Structure 1
Amino acid sequence: MTQSKSIAILIADDDAEDRMLLREAMEENHLPNELFFVENGEELMDFLCHRGNYADKEGYPLPGLILLDLNMPKKDGREALKEIKEDVNLKHIPVVVLTTSKAEEDILKTYDLGVSSFITKPVTFASLVEMIKTLADYWFDLVELPKNPKL
């Protein structure tokens, strides 16, 4: 990994088991990235805008990549994605939808809103580990990501 040490990953997913499996898949791939987790779209926006529990900019840095579930309580992933891509300070952050949905409507809508990639969650842990490896190779070794703005 070349850039990955400095890139924080923010995972927005309301399912505790999915969050645990994602963490384990990252560890299995020996990724050095700092991981942050939020459980719904409201928490996601609070994290990104440094509000409430996430006011500490040092403790909760802007992520270099967001993994976003679509079906979450309070504010779903679609609503949060729309807000992120409309915000001049956040729209540069790559967002990868990672969801159980395979609905063509969700795929089209999220790409219309500016998502970077749409991935259906793998069903086995081995497939999840492989998907995370591919994701890391692409986002951290191949792609040039923008540097975080001063916020």
Structure 2
Amino acid sequence: MKTGQCVLLAEDDPNDVLLLQFAFREAEIHSPLHTVSNGQEAIDYLSGVGSFSDRERFPIPALLLLDLKMPRKTGIDVLEWLAKDDVMRCLPTVMLSSSTHPGDIEKAYRLGVNAFVVKSPGTAQRTEFCKIIKSFWLTLNELPLVCTDGLEAARKARIADL
């Protein structure tokens, strides 16, 4: 597993947060798991504004785990925001949902989500999901510059590419 990576979980259900935290420990994921409880907080965290302005405490995550149905702004709203930002749109994102509605799945993929995962009720399945996060997303996957060197480095590289 690469060092210095955090994961951002945007989830409004405290029980789902606790279950995922437990699954992270069971999967021996040592990356910090930062949590926000609604879509607006996710956008604020990713933007580095307000209480999330300290990038030492709230770094750009290596992976965003995004609940579909949240208050203030939904997971779809967050995906729409990400899609409009030339740099942040490349942030690896996994949508978590209780929904298997084809329209939700298709819309999430059209907006750039990298995976759509239905929340499993059992702890064993959640732990297995977290083992996959560890082995693929946090170990094998090559991250975009925004996740490794930060927002400013990614913006400068983007400008240099133009």
Match of 2:134 in 1: 136
Shift of 1:85: 1.9
Which amino acid in 2 is paired with 1:147? L
Q: Aligned pair 1:31/2:29, yes or no?
A: yes
**TM-score normalised to the size of structure 1?**
0.94
* 1:103 lines up with 2:87 in the alignment: no
Specify the alignment match of 1:80 in structure 2.
78
For residue 90 of structure 1, the aligned residue among 75, 88, 91 is: 88
TM-score (norm 2): 0.88
- Tell me which residue corresponds to 2:144: 146
The structural deviation recorded for 1:89 is 2.7
Q: How many residues were matched structurally? A: 149
Give CA-to-partner distance per residue, 1:107-145, whole Å, 9 cap, x none.
Answer: 100000000000001110111101111122111222212
User: What pairs up with 1:26-65 in 2 under 5 angstroms?
Assistant: 26-65=24-63
Distance of 1:76 and 1:34 partners within structure 2: 23
Structure (1 or 2) with the greater helix fraction: 2
Per-residue deviation, residues 73-132 of structure 1 (Å, max 9, x unmatched): 000000111101211231111010011111110110000000000000111011110111
Task: Please report the RMSD computed on the Cα atoms of aligned residues, expressed in angstroms.
Answer: 1.1
8 Å CA contact retained: 2:4, 2:31 = yes
Contact 2:62 2:138 in 1 (8 A): no
Distance 2:70 2:12 in 1: 6
Distance 1:77 1:22 in 2: 17
Q: Give the deviation of 1:37 after TM superposition.
A: 0.2
Q: Which has the larger radius of gyration?
A: 2
What stretches of structure 1 move > 2 A for 4+ residues in a row? 147-151
Residue aligning to 2:20 = 22
Distance in 2 (CA, whole Å) between partners of 1:42 and 1:144 is 27
Distance, in Å, in 1 between the alignment partners of 2:83 and 2:57 is 23
